[in-house]
Amino acid sequence: MKILIKQIFREFYILINRLSLVEKLIYSLFIIALIRAVYLTILNLSKKIIDYIVANSQMIFAICFGVLAIFIFGLGLYLYISRARHKQNILDEISIDDHTSEPRNIYIDGNYNENININGDQIEIHGDVININQDFSEVAKEIRDLINELKNQGYSEEDAQKEIATELAEEARKKPKVRKKLFMWKNSFSTNTVKTNDEIEVAREVVSSATDYSYTSSKDFTEVVSGHYQKLDELLQAKKWKEADLETAKIIYVISHNELPETSPYRTYRRNYFSSEYLKVLPRKDLNNINRLWLKYSNGRFGFSVQKRIWKRLGGGSDTTYNSEEIQEKFGDEVGWRKEGDWVYYSDIYYSLRSPSGHLPILFMLNSDKSERCDIDFEILEVIVGRI
């Protein structure tokens, strides 16, 4: 229903732009007359309501007082429960940190036909030393290389991942520093928001994230930085997420607008208005370049591909026919665009690395003004899912 109403307004906008000046004037007069009639109707109805309230003031006062009392009681109960949950969450986090505060050395003896040793901040695999405190992109690359090496020795992809995860989990149980690192990576990159203290489950998610984490290194971004994306690159590198979100929207608008056919009615849309048609003509190369920059500087936390992975896991696709409002709401809940059963205001968008995975970018998908609750154009997301 929501999509149908949106489409009607779009078609109406296109129709208005095609009218002559005289036709627009006639329509304006008609609309003014209609507004006046609605105004008079509302005015008369308001007078009747006021007269009724005056005649029945005592009864209405009693009802309002009762409703207010119930509301205050319900609000107090809600605040009490929310506070109790908040305290429990803090206790849960403390229980994890209590086990991960003391740095120690780690030694892992794997059964890979060779030994795997993790010493303190380093992982030594076949003579290759990996620093676990370096950027996750480098750690992920080393894990993928190890998986390929194990596959060459006869392991399947699944068995290689399982073998690495099992050894990491075993030592994480013994050594707090590795455990803390694994949980940090899990919280940063995993799309699974369910809290767990199971080391093997966390280790598997970390290895899985490393396998999927495949953006290129900074040396491959020469073309990106020297093209349309220099400012975006600088903003993301400086962790200015809000400014980068706006710059992403600007880049998409400028490139897509230039790609639209001369006869396209979307060329007449107001500046900075976004439609799924813009994303359909945005060159795939540009879409992937923007995505890689977000992945690179957020350590895989933000970007189109992260949003796609969450959307697909929840059952969403690239066809509006199959994407229910329930899927949209679940997606909004998971990426932090919804809270307590409702869409957040734009001012509540959390521009920080501590926000949920897939939280950004968002601005180019908004139908709403910045003073309103977020109204996401899921047609745009569906186009991205089909093209990224």
Reported confidence tier of residue 345, pLDDT bands at 50, 70, 90 = very high
Q: Is the pLDDT at 112 greater than 60, yes or no? A: no
Q: Is the pLDDT at 127 greater than 70, yes or no? A: no
pLDDT tens per residue, range 14-55: 666 666 777 778 878 888 888 888 888 898 888 888 887 777
Q: Is the pLDDT at 95 greater than 50, yes or no? A: no
Domain ranges of the chain: 23-80, 116-212, 218-387
Higher pLDDT: 170 or 94? It is: 170
| Whole-number pLDDT of residue 342 | 93
Q: What percent of the chain has pLDDT over 70?
A: 71
pLDDT tens per residue, range 175-207: 777 778 778 777 665 555 567 788 888 888 888
pLDDT tens per residue, range 208-237: 777 765 443 333 333 344 456 778 888 999
The answer to whether residues 132 and 181 touch, using CB atoms and an 8 Å cutoff, is yes
Q: Is the pLDDT at 6 greater than 90, yes or no? A: no
| Whole-number pLDDT of residue 121 | 62
